[in-house]
Amino acid sequence: MSTDNHKATRTAHWREALAVQRANVERVRPLQAEGKLRRVVGLTLEAVGCEAPVGSRCMVAGADGKQLETEVVGFSDGRLLLMPTGEMHGVLPNARVTPVASISGVPVGDSLLGRVIGPDGVPLDGMGPLLARDRAPLRRGPINPMLRQPIDTPLDTGVRAINALLTVGRGQRIGLFAGSGVGKSTLLGMMTRFTNADVVVVGLIGERGREVKEFVDHTLGEEGRRRAVVVAAPADAPPLSRLRGAQVATAIAEHFRDEGKRVLLLMDSLTRYAQAQREIALAIGEPPATKGYPPSVFAMLPALVERAGNDAEGRGSITAFYTVLTEGDDYRHDPIADSARAILDGHIVLSRDLAEAGHYPAIDIEASISRVMPAVVSKDHMRAAQRFRQVYSAYRQQRDLIAVGAYQKGSDPRTDEAIALYPTLSAFLQQETDTPVYLDEAESGLVDAAKAN
């Protein structure tokens, strides 16, 4: 390279770096006057004497000289309402409160692949600092619904029951409804390893700390981890951190989508995200509504979910699975489950009865649906899936009579056919956790399984 070209390259590099720093300076808020801490009630701190917008950060001086990071979540009667991002031990009356000028963003880039980070972007895996130089906004405006690309391409999850009977499209948002101990994490791990996606982003929100490590080391495994980013905000994290964890995972997925990649976003769980917002809203005085959930919860759920999906340019996609925890396995009378069913493009229900019978994955085909399946599969595939459901449902409706020997063969030809085919159908829905079954194989197996004898 000539000397002139070398100088031109260096000049262009420094101009680009200067432009980035100038943009950063323009986004930084000027420092505000310091205030005083006047009141602490539960999780809420009240400060006077300073101003800061909702969503900005303030530092509260502690008795031991350490600074407690807080976020502005509201204001009332000239007081800022703050919520801590960590433990509040050592906070004193009249402690100094300092608004912090900072750029809110999320570290993004290929250097995140294979890493486990917290909601603040700090690595949790002990593998050294992140090398990500770029940052993405934590929150974005909604995509114009008239510009968003349609869902018309199937996504291969490697799970036979889903590929055959609940076919998912690229850019679909689907709920995974499950109680505790029915194989939810195992199914998520299968999709993480087997799904035909360029990048997998996993948000572990409100899970037990032990389960976070088990999911990363065992369920995800080395193979799945190479193309995955895990954002963990465990159950003992403050509600603000759990809330931010879901937003950080979504922002990282958006970044890879903008690069034209096919992204799989697994959020476990949407219920814990809603519970975190409920804790914050109740702490600052928002009145409760349905089952103690304030109205802001039901506004934030669609705002988070709508960020996934296809983009406006048709380059990349975010296919998202959101787990929804059901109390007592009753997903029909839970307000979060009701809201999730209304805003998602389908739902997969895991059955405790099937899990207890050793049927894995324990997907309740009768209660599950993919709303975009007709748009992403052939008519022959759709007809085979409908016939499978009809025969399977016919057996399930009569299973109690069949179990006690009260059903007489020949009473109903439809039930006779279901009894003959049920062992084949049941075996088709089961799958080993370490063996993928891809879309073409699942479709051909579906046709064979539903054939009449």
Q: How far apart are CA 345 and CA 160, in angstroms?
A: 19
Stronger pLDDT, 280 or 220, i.e. the higher one: 280
Read off φ and ψ for residue 36, nearest 5 degrees.
-125, 145
Residue 243: count other Cβ atoms within 10 Å of its Cβ: 28
Averaged pLDDT for residues 183-189: 90
In the predicted structure, residue 2 carries a pLDDT above the cut 80:
no
Averaged pLDDT for residues 280-287: 90
371 secondary structure, DSSP code: T
Q: For a pLDDT cut of 90, what percent of the chain falls above it?
A: 56
Q: How far apart are CA 341 and CA 389, in angstroms?
A: 21
Comparing 49-53, 299-303, 332-336, 382-386, which segment has the lowest mean pLDDT? 332-336
Residue 412 binned pLDDT confidence (cut-offs 50, 70, 90): confident
In the predicted structure, residue 24 carries a pLDDT above the cut 80:
no
In the predicted structure, residue 28 carries a pLDDT above the cut 60:
no
In the predicted structure, residue 424 carries a pLDDT above the cut 70:
yes
Mean of the per-residue pLDDT values of the chain: 88
Predicted pLDDT of residue 213: 87
Task: Compute the chain's Rg from CA coordinates.
Answer: 25
Q: What's this model's pTM, rounded to 2 decimal places?
A: 0.87
Q: How far apart are CA 192 and CA 396, in angstroms?
A: 31
- The answer to whether the beta carbons of residues 362 and 350 sit under 8 Å apart is yes
Residue 404 binned pLDDT confidence (cut-offs 50, 70, 90): confident
Stronger pLDDT, 158 or 214, i.e. the higher one: 158
Q: How far apart are CA 318 and CA 199, in angstroms?
A: 10
Predicted pLDDT of residue 405: 79
- The answer to whether the beta carbons of residues 212 and 234 sit under 8 Å apart is yes
Give me the amino acid identity at 213: K
Q: How far apart are CA 68 and CA 84, in angstroms?
A: 7
At 329-352, the pLDDT tens digits run 666 778 999 999 999 999 999 999
For the domain spanning 35-99, the CATH number is 2.40.10.170
Q: Which two tokens stand for residue 286?
A: 């928002």
Q: Where are the domains of the chain?
A: 35-99, 106-377, 381-450
- The answer to whether the beta carbons of residues 407 and 415 sit under 8 Å apart is yes
What are residue 347's DSSP bridge partners? Answer: 175, 369
Q: Taking the CA of residue 139 as centre, how many other CA atoms within 13 Å lie in the half-sphere pointing to its CB?
A: 8
Query: DSSP characters for 351-370?
Result: -HHHHHTT-SS-B-TTT-EE
In the predicted structure, residue 453 carries a pLDDT above the cut 60:
no
- The answer to whether the beta carbons of residues 97 and 34 sit under 8 Å apart is yes
Predicted pLDDT of residue 397: 87
Q: Which CATH architecture has domain 106-377?
A: 3-Layer(aba) Sandwich (3.40)
Instruction: Name the fold adopted by 381-450.
Output: Substrate Binding Domain Of Dnak; Chain:A; Domain 2 (1.20.1270)
Comparing 20-24, 130-134, 191-195, 263-267, which segment has the lowest mean pLDDT? 20-24
Q: Which two tokens stand for residue 274?
A: 């809603």
Predicted pLDDT of residue 66: 85
Predicted pLDDT of residue 133: 80
Residue pointed to by tokens 């303030």: 58
Q: What DSSP element (H or E) covers 117? A: strand 116-117
Residue 14: count other Cβ atoms within 10 Å of its Cβ: 10
